[in-house]
Amino acid sequence: MSQLALKRQTTKDIEAQIGTLSRPSKMPCHGYSLPATECKRGSILRKIENSVCSDCYALKNRYLFNNVQKALHKRLDALLSDTFTWQHLLTELINRKEKSGYFRWHDSGDIQSPEHLSAINNIAFALPHIIFWIPTREFSVVKEWVKTNKVAPNLTIRISANTIGQTLRRPSIGTTNITTSSVGATQTLSNSQNCPAPKQDNQCKDCRSCWDTQVSNINYTQH
């Protein structure tokens, strides 16, 4: 698709093809979420007691509403049917709608493939004025992917701990853009920070630590 053809499409036209951006109430910015049922690593962890995914917040409450499920699957279908077109349409949509300078991937769902991660990375390269954050449990995918790809400087990838209370250290895999997150960890690491949201109406407010590569680990309170 040419840039001219892309620019001629209305925002509604683009959303009809790849779905709308999400706007989690906690976040200061837009996001783009996928069905949690389609998480690769998460689907395995959900069956393991005391794993973070065993009580996944994205598999209950408002996420179960028919309209929410429909929106999540529409995004996934668009991604899987034509990742190249999805990437270019989503780049244009984010550029039009995100004015905060920040973007969060996947408050529900996770990386589907190396090609998906490449598309996310390409979107970040195309929009250098926006800082992107993606939490993921697909460490094996990320570890292999970074061997042959350069992470965009405005993309923060946080490897999420698998179990509650687990503490992760920043992986030494050749880039400072790879950071970590934990849930209910008691061990304190250098350059680690506890998420302040529980003390401020469950909102980020002015905190942007999740997007900050200088913060090596974010520790969240268990939902």
87-132 tens-digit pLDDT: 999 999 999 999 999 999 999 999 999 999 999 999 999 999 999 9
For residues 48-59, average pLDDT: 89
Model confidence pLDDT, tens digit, residues 31-52: 999 999 999 999 999 999 989 8
**Closest by Cα among 174, 132, 134 to 153:** 132
What's this model's pTM, rounded to 2 decimal places? Answer: 0.94
Residue 153 confidence (pLDDT) above 90? yes
- Looking only at the bridges linking them, the beta strands covering 102-105 and 178-183 are unpaired
Q: Number of structural domains, the chain?
A: 1
**Closest by Cα among 101, 26, 35 to 68:** 35
Domain of residue 149 covers 3-220
Which residues neighbour 180 within 8 Å (Cβ) at sequence distance 6 or greater?
A: 158, 159, 160, 161, 168, 169, 170, 171, 216, 217, 218
Provide the pLDDT for residue 57: 86
Distances (CA, A) of 134 to 49, 154, 163: 25, 11, 19
Of 8-17, 51-60, 140-149, where does mean pLDDT reach its minimum? 51-60
Provide the pLDDT for residue 189: 72
Query: Residue 25 — very low, low, confident or very high, per pLDDT cuts 50/70/90?
Result: confident
